[in-house]
């Protein structure tokens, strides 16, 4: 017999996880059928670490510097292409912007892409472009599109059954656009068990894998059983498909197993030697990189570490661009370089692909791209009198930088090119998000035509299954 749910009872008896299951999976998961793969690919990587520069990292201020023009009052805005001087990296012919010397010193171990082109999604909003980058699909969708980490978790499963296959570090949902960010931090129709294990603050990561202070193990076991009972009495239990219910229960069982495992120590950063901890300890992002390295050692499959998106914070430089980037570079430079060094030292870099990316770039004058300009969101004076106007403030989608290391990616390689004069747009080898995703999937051995049938139609890892990996990025040529 069906229950009559009013609002009060609904909220009383359900949790955030239950609601997420209904939002992400119902009702299409009942039509989910098995994946069809037409070919087998030999994998080059086992683990993916995505280092997410949330907020729009300006390429000309970081990994693709142009002519440097120092600040002075009365400076004409159209003269400014980069607000930092550049320096040569360990990769011949490639320079980075000042403040990224540590990352520059390891570029002989990886590839820089200087020609990522973000999609035209109309009025530029961070959450829309982040949704597109992380799922490969343009919002809105009639089907809840899975995050790339969820696809990988579903296709390959965990390497270590105790460690969650998909872990997301550093993003809170209590900040601006939190609900929009939740839309892609999900496994979508694949089910809750393939969704992210969320760690908003890596310095408190151990709290994510142990019962609250003062709660005994027996009491926690009783709560776990109570939660399972609530699931069966909730709207998911009543209206959800068998797939939804089993997926939600499995996600809880996996979390419960982790709580009682020795591998939970990977979340305890206090066990790290002080000299290494101090290099990573530049803030939540730096400690997130350290946790990612520790989780990789325990067999994690996909880990995302973000500088965190919060409107008008971090890389979201609507003003004070130059000043803000000084701090952002300090947050990422040492930890990213140390992560690469540590993975190489332990022999894990060959099978671990590390990607550093952002949703789009920035320019002082251009909003959007040439030929697809959109409404300006920031006022920029023609003549700069205040340091707050010195730096890249507007959203630019026609030339973004991505770094890639390990997992079969070429060492010491530069792909693509942007113009040296404004607009500093892509002029050689443009690359789009479906190509980035398929390059990652290819490295992991996931076929280009991997898909599931949802609502009686195929849903591919990239739209219509048309995305192709960029084979030029890999170190060894493919055998025919």
In a domain, 236, yes or no: yes
Res. 400 pLDDT band, cuts 50 70 90: very high
pLDDT of residue 18: 39
Residue 369 shares a structural domain with residue 287? no
CA–CA dist 298, 343 (Å, integer)? 13
pLDDT of residue 12: 37
Which of 3-7, 141-145, 389-393 has the least mean pLDDT?
3-7
pLDDT of residue 304: 98
Residue 259 shares a structural domain with residue 364? no
Residue 75 shares a structural domain with residue 218? no
Give pLDDT tens digits for 7-66. Answer: 344 333 333 333 444 444 443 444 455 555 556 789 999 999 999 999 999 999 999 999
pLDDT of residue 1: 37
Per the structure, the complete domain to which residue 466 belongs is given by: 36-46+63-94+110-133+344-392+404-472
In a domain, 322, yes or no: no
Residue 160 shares a structural domain with residue 18? yes
Residue 20 shares a structural domain with residue 118? no
pLDDT of residue 226: 58
**At residue 117, does pLDDT exceed 50?**
yes
Residue 41 shares a structural domain with residue 11? no
CA–CA dist 92, 408 (Å, integer)? 20
In a domain, 105, yes or no: no
Instruction: Compute the average pLDDT of residues 112-125.
Output: 93
Counted domains in the chain: 2
CA–CA dist 1, 3 (Å, integer)? 7
pLDDT of residue 266: 87
Q: Specify the higher pLDDT residue, 62 or 234.
A: 62
Residue 215 shares a structural domain with residue 119? no
In a domain, 104, yes or no: no
In a domain, 337, yes or no: no
Residue 127 shares a structural domain with residue 14? no
Residue 22 shares a structural domain with residue 2? yes
pLDDT of residue 204: 84
Residue 364 shares a structural domain with residue 414? yes
Instruction: Compute the average pLDDT of residues 212-224.
Output: 60
Residue 212 shares a structural domain with residue 357? no
Residue 275 shares a structural domain with residue 354? no
Instruction: Compute the average pLDDT of residues 392-400.
Output: 96
Domain end call among 285, 301, 317? 301
Instruction: Compute the average pLDDT of residues 353-357.
Output: 98
Domain end call among 279, 301, 323? 301
Domain end call among 278, 301, 324? 301
- As a whole number, the mean pLDDT across the chain is 86
Instruction: Compute the average pLDDT of residues 315-344.
Output: 97
In a domain, 55, yes or no: no
In a domain, 319, yes or no: no
pLDDT of residue 235: 55
pLDDT of residue 257: 67
In a domain, 270, yes or no: yes
Give pLDDT tens digits for 133-160. Answer: 999 999 988 889 999 999 999 999 999 9
């Amino acid at each position: 017999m069906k229950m009559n749910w009013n609002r009060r009872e609904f909220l009383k008896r359900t949790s955030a996880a239950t609601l997420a299951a209904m939002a992400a999976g119902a009702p299409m998961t009942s039509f989910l059928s098995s994946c069809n793969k037409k070919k087998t690919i030999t994998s080059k990587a086992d683990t993916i670490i995505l280092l997410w520069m949330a907020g729009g990292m300006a390429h000309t201020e970081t990994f693709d510097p142009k002519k440097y023009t120092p600040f002075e009052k009365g400076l004409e805005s159209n003269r400014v292409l980069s607000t930092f001087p550049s320096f040569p990296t360990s990769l011949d012919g490639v320079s980075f912007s000042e403040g990224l010397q540590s990352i520059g010193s390891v570029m002989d171990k990886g590839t820089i892409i200087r020609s990522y082109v973000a999609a035209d999604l109309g009025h530029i909003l961070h959450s829309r472009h982040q949704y597109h980058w992380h799922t490969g699909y343009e919002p809105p969708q009639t089907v809840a599109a899975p995050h790339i980490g969820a696809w990988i978790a579903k296709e390959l499963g965990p390497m270590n059954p105790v460690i969650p296959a998909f872990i997301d570090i550093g993003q809170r949902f209590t900040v601006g656009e939190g609900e929009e960010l939740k839309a892609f931090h999900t496994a979508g129709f694949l089910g809750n068990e393939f969704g992210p294990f969320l760690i908003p603050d890596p310095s408190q990561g151990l709290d994510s894998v142990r019962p609250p202070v003062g709660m005994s193990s027996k009491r926690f076991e009783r709560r776990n059983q109570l939660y399972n009972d609530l699931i069966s009495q909730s709207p998911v239990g009543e209206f959800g498909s068998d797939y939804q219910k089993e997926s939600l229960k499995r996600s809880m069982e996996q979390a419960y197993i982790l709580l009682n495992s020795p591998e939970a120590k990977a979340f305890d950063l206090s066990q790290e030697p002080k000299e290494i901890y101090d290099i990573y300890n530049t803030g939540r992002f730096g400690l997130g990189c350290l946790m990612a390295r520790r989780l990789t050692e325990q067999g994690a499959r996909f880990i995302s570490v973000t500088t965190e998106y919060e409107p008008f914070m971090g890389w979201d430089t609507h003003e004070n661009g130059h000043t803000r980037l000084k701090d952002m570079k300090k947050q990422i430079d040492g930890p990213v370089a140390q992560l690469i060094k540590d993975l190489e030292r332990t022999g894990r870099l060959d099978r671990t692909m590390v990607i550093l990316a952002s949703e789009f770039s920035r320019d002082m004058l251009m909003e959007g791209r040439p030929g697809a300009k959109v409404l300006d969101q920031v006022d920029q004076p023609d003549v700069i009198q205040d340091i707050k106007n010195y730096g890249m403030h507007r959203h630019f989608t026609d030339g973004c930088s991505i770094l890639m290391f390990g997992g079969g990616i070429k060492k010491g390689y530069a792909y693509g090119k942007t113009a040296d004069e404004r607009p500093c747009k892509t002029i050689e080898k443009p690359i789009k998000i479906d190509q980035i995703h398929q390059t990652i999937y290819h490295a992991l051995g996931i076929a280009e035509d991997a898909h599931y049938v949802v609502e009686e139609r195929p849903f591919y890892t990239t739209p219509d299954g048309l995305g192709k990996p960029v084979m030029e990025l890999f170190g060894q040529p493919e055998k025919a």
